[in-house]
Amino acid sequence: MLIRPNANDWYSALRVHHRFAVLQGSEHIASRFSLAYLAAIVRQHDCPLVLEFGAGIGTLTYLLLQKGLRVVALEHDPFCLDQLKRNIPAEWKSRLTLITDRVSIEGVFDLVIIDGNLPRQNEYRFLRPGTICFVEGCRQHTSWKFQQRIAAAGLYCELSHYEPWTTLRIKSRKTGLRSRFKVARLKTFRAGIVSETPRLIGSASTGAPRPKARRVSRSTPPR
């Protein structure tokens, strides 16, 4: 799944992140990188109806409603629910449905965002072939569990990893020159499209991640 944010996507992401970074409960909001790529997904794909697990204080919800989409947001924490209602403009609330339990989920969705606990084993009726899945945050275990559970339902979704480089800028005290280093990668989110092709997930039916291929040094001739 190829996702390419453009300048407008980054602009929207930065504005939303700046708006929510100063609010109560902003300690665990989505990164600017995740917001930009989510903006790119809804621009590149037709996603009029979105289901969001773990809406929090509404960072991703705000971005989606800003793009004119309809959102069903699941959140059970009373503090987050209260903040979310305050953070969403009144003119957008007609396109927002807030629910506090999974039983209230009805229909199928074009985009499913997981930013919290996974649905239970038998609760994947909201998926269809072509649904886009977006797992926000560093949730490798959640991603594998998600793929296992939808495989049990006869569906398949290969979640691609998106890992932005963090950049470190250093200024020398002696020379005044600035140096720029790429120092680390962060697994910020995973995304994929649901299909009807069931496959084994991982190296075995347990869903364990595939073992990494061994790297052979170029200086050592093959035996």
> HEC string of 33-53?
HHHHHHHHHHHHCCCCEEEEE
Q: Is residue 125 part of a domain?
A: yes
**With a threshold of 0.85, does the pTM exceed it?**
no
The reply to whether 209 falls in a domain is: no
In a domain, 216, yes or no: no
Residue 184 belongs to some domain of the structure: yes
Handedness of CA 110, 42, 85, 142 (dihedral sign): positive
Give dist(CA 139, CA 163) in Å, integer.
12
Number of domains forming the structure of the chain: 1
> Domain range spanning residue 94?
7-193
- CATH code, 177: 3.40.50.150
Which tokens in the block code for residue 110?
């074009």
Residue 40 inside a domain? The answer is yes
Q: Say what the pLDDT of residue 161 is.
A: 66
200 in a domain, yes or no?
no
Residue 119's pLDDT is 72
pLDDT in the model for residue 81: 93
- E-assigned strand segments in 22-101: 49-53, 70-74, 96-99
pLDDT 10s per residue in the chain (223 long)? Answer: 678 889 999 999 999 999 999 999 888 888 888 899 899 999 999 999 999 999 999 999 999 999 999 999 999 999 999 999 999 999 999 999 999 887 778 888 999 998 877 777 667 788 888 899 888 877 777 788 888 888 877 888 877 766 654 444 444 455 555 544 444 444 466 778 888 754 443 333 333 444 444 444 444 444 5
**Who's near 113: CB < 8 A, 6+ residues apart?**
38, 50, 51, 52, 53, 60, 134, 136
Is position 204 within any domain? no
In a domain, 207, yes or no: no
Q: 47, 72 in Cβ contact below 8 A?
A: no
pLDDT value for 197 = 59
